[in-house]
Amino acid sequence: MELATDAVRKPNAEGSASTIYGMPVDAHHPFYLDLYRKSVQNPVAFWEELGQLLDWDRPWQQVLDNSNSPFTKWYVGGYLNACYNAVDRHILAGRGDQVALIHDSPLTETVRKVTYQELYDQVVLLAGGLAKLGVGKGDRVVIYMPLIPETIIAMLAIVRLGAIHSVVFGGFAARELCSRIEHVEPKVVIAANAGVEPGKVVPYLDILHSAINMSRWKPPQRNIIFMREKVASDILDDKLDVLWSTVQGMADARQPVACVPIEANDPLYILYTSGTTDKPKGVLRTIGGHLVVLMYTLKMIYGIKPGDTWWAASDMGWVVGHSYICYGPLCLGATSVMYEGKPDRTPDPGQYFRIIDHYKVCGIFSVPTSFRVIRRADPEISYGRQYCMKSLRAIFIAGEHCDYETKAWIEKTFKVPVLNHWWQTETGSAITATCLGLKHSLTPPIYSTGLPLMGYDVKILKKDGTEAQPSELGRIVLKLPLPPGNMATLYRNDELFRKLYFQKFPGYYDTMDAGYKDALGYVFVTARDDDVINVAGHRLSTSSLEDAVLRHPDVVDVAVFGVPEPTKGQVPLCLYIPVETCKKTDAKLSAEIIKLIRDIVGPIAAFRLITSVKNLPRTRSGKTMRKAMADFARNERVVLPATIDDASVFSEIRRALQHLGYAMSAPDPIVAKLLD
């Protein structure tokens, strides 16, 4: 959908006729600049037109209500249903035979293609059964399932009834699942009996029973369990559990349950941010504005059209899964790939190539780590070169910093643009991006996360609240009101919502990320603000040091974090992973990297603490746990996110730190258990 643009560009309050919110008009395509200006200066007109992307049961009465900032409301008085927009309307348009979901699972050696009609049939049966159990508008339902179509079926069945889902990542253990059950107080929990990882089965059913046993909140209905017979055979407890198929059998197939219209500012879902180990922080997302933004961004950022095949390589437990595996592609009428496997081990490093070729994938959204894993396991692409990449238009990366060497390798290997963008669980979609549909340059400055998306007035502020100059590092904030699709609040905690995100810089949303804007308006997200280290008064971003290390051809991955030093205050400590074919000793390769840093960054980096490791601690979503490693080295309390991929890697980290003189005399009890 292309909006009409004004023929004449006008000066704005923040710049001259030659700039639009700090962006030179001669540096970017007028199509983007005019749309962006309209979205910031006249958001009501801009978002009113885009609201027509959805089917509404009742039209809105007011596009924007910002009378109680920061609790901004969009499309006030409008009623709609997410399941109807994701499924029903495509069938009514005669597209029921189109494939909605492709579930490719090398871990179970199965491939399933679910059409929109089949998706509808399964959703209405489950929704009908849930209704018989008393689930209705406003009720909460927890979902604890792996990356399978039934997870999306459960989500859509819940929202069909006007209820609210809270998907809990399958990697969470019982205690983390318990904390979310206690906080959300669901009427029922829907779970699978098991998940599967390379070489092991994850006992979801046992974990769920343990979580409910320790929980202060007991769901009034029995757990609904989907049995994955090919993964594990479990015996249900009739007092605690009921089969998924039994609940579907409770529905009246002759009278499919209708979609319940809900107001645009009513909750769609609650999603707890990853790494939360104390008080749960549940992002509450409302329905109307979010679905509008997802449809708009799928076309404008990712270049996806109805009927295209799109792959977001994430999990349903993360915001990416909610936005771009489920709601975005389905509301648009695209085909969404669900890949249950690893980039390299299930069974080989050719799987990303196979998926693209077999299903004619047009676009991918993944984290840089996935491609580093492929590069490390198969640098010559001996597994991948047998597949055809002609369908692929672009690869989009987010979630962590991407170094130049990795980006260049991906572009050379897949022969498409690799486009960085930046967003958060709280925003639900991108804040900045390089967009296929907005006529952006597909060769943005190195390391940039792109230009601001529609409605985002991005500022860089110094500690005193004044605006930073171009290329000056500061805190990235977003001027209020925020555009549609952002979180409405934190579930059951409006006070923390205000304090955490809006108190530090009044009138702005605090992203808590550090970065800068260049003279052309491109945004650079350097790190979380606490990932900037201070070496003798010089503020250095850990990501810039990692980029320099990764220029060495024998290094495939790296983590840099700050540790105390008596004279300089802080110095960087570097742990790197060599390529598998490297024949150099640790001492020789480390010396070469130190020289490389001196040549690129200079002696101010005080870059001397460096050694190799075989693995780095990461979360399941691929993020490197720099803070945990830094706390570990400083002998401070280590808070491990529940989503850590492999906790045993800290044994190797301990050996590396001891090699560098950071011997652990009294490790934190949490970590000590891992090292036994």
Exposed / middle / buried, residue 2 (Cβ in 10 Å: 0-12, 13-18, 19+): exposed
Q: Is 253 a member of any domain?
A: yes
Phi-psi region of 140 (alpha: psi -120 to 50; beta: other; left: phi over 0): beta
- Please give the pLDDT value at position 645: 65
Q: Comparing C-alpha atoms, which of 218, 99, 208 is closest to residue 146?
A: 208
pLDDT bin (cut points 50, 70, 90) of residue 637 is: low
> Residue 668: is its pLDDT beyond 50?
no
Answer yes or no: is 134 within a domain: yes
Both tokens assigned to 193: 């009996």
Q: Which residue segment(s) compose the domain that 661 sits in?
A: 536-671
Residue 398, pLDDT > 60, answer yes
Matching residue, tokens 């339902």: 141
Let me know if residue 580 belongs to a domain.
yes
How far is 237 from 565, CA to CA, in rounded Å? 57
Can you state the angle between helices 649-659 and 626-633, rounded to 10 degrees?
50
Q: What CATH number is attached to the domain comprising 66?
A: 3.40.50.12780
Q: What is the mean pLDDT of residues 397-412?
A: 88
pLDDT reported for residue 639: 64
Residue 480's pLDDT is 98
Task: Pick the most confident of 212-221, 394-403, 641-650.
Answer: 212-221
- Name the nearest CA neighbour of 414 among 450, 361, 377, 369: 361
pLDDT digits (tens, 9 = 90+) for 41-96: 999 999 999 999 999 999 999 999 999 999 999 999 999 999 999 999 999 999 99
pLDDT at 235 over 60: yes
Q: Is residue 666 scored above 70 in pLDDT? A: no
pLDDT tier for residue 665 given thresholds of 50, 70 and 90? very low
DSSP per-residue letters across 83-107: HIIIIIHHHHTT-TTSEEEEEEETT
Please report the pLDDT score of residue 420 as a whole number: 95
Contact 308, 362 (CB under 8 A): yes
Domain annotation covers residue 270: yes
φ and ψ at 607, to 5 degrees? -95, 95
**CATH label of the domain that carries residue 545:** 3.30.300.30
Contact 373, 344 (CB under 8 A): yes
For the chain, what is the total number of helices (H) and then of strands (E)? Answer: 21, 34
Does the pLDDT of residue 170 top 90, yes or no?
no
Q: How many CB atoms lie within 10 A of CB 461?
A: 17
In a domain, 158, yes or no: yes
Is residue 138's pLDDT more than 90?
Answer: yes
- The answer on pLDDT for 540 being more than 80 is no
Tell me, rounded to whole angstroms, the distance of Cα 168 from its chain centroid: 14
Q: Is the pLDDT of residue 673 over 80?
A: no
In a domain, 160, yes or no: yes
613 in Cβ contact with 569 (< 8 Å): no
Helix (H) or strand (E) holding 63: strand 62-65
What's the CA gap between 414 and 409, in Å, rounded? 8
Angle at 256 between CA 251 and CA 257, to 5 degrees: 85
Q: How confident is the model at residue 157 (pLDDT cuts 50, 70, 90)?
A: very high
Phi-psi region of 139 (alpha: psi -120 to 50; beta: other; left: phi over 0): beta
Q: Would you state the pLDDT for residue 660?
A: 84
* Structure confidence at residue 607 (pLDDT): 86
Is it the case that residue 258 has pLDDT exceeding 90? yes
**Residue (of 171, 169, 165) closest to 184 by Cα position:** 165
**What pLDDT sits at residue 12?**
40
- Pick the last residue of a domain from 253, 286, 319: 286
Of 142-151, 259-268, 553-562, minimum mean pLDDT range: 553-562
Percent of the chain residues topping a pLDDT of 90:
68
138 within domain boundaries? yes
Compute the average pLDDT of residues 195-210: 93
* Residue at which a domain ends, from 286, 309, 336: 286
Domain count, the chain: 2
Residue 673 CB contacts under 8 Å (≥ 6 apart), including other chains: none
Q: Which of 320-329, 531-540, 576-585, 652-661 has the lowest mean pLDDT?
A: 531-540
Residue 228, classified by CB atoms within 10 Å of its CB into exposed (0-12), middle (13-18) or buried (19+), is: buried
Query: Would you say residue 127 lies in a domain?
Result: yes
Domain C-terminal end among 258, 286, 314: 286
Locate 595 and state its tokens: 């020289």
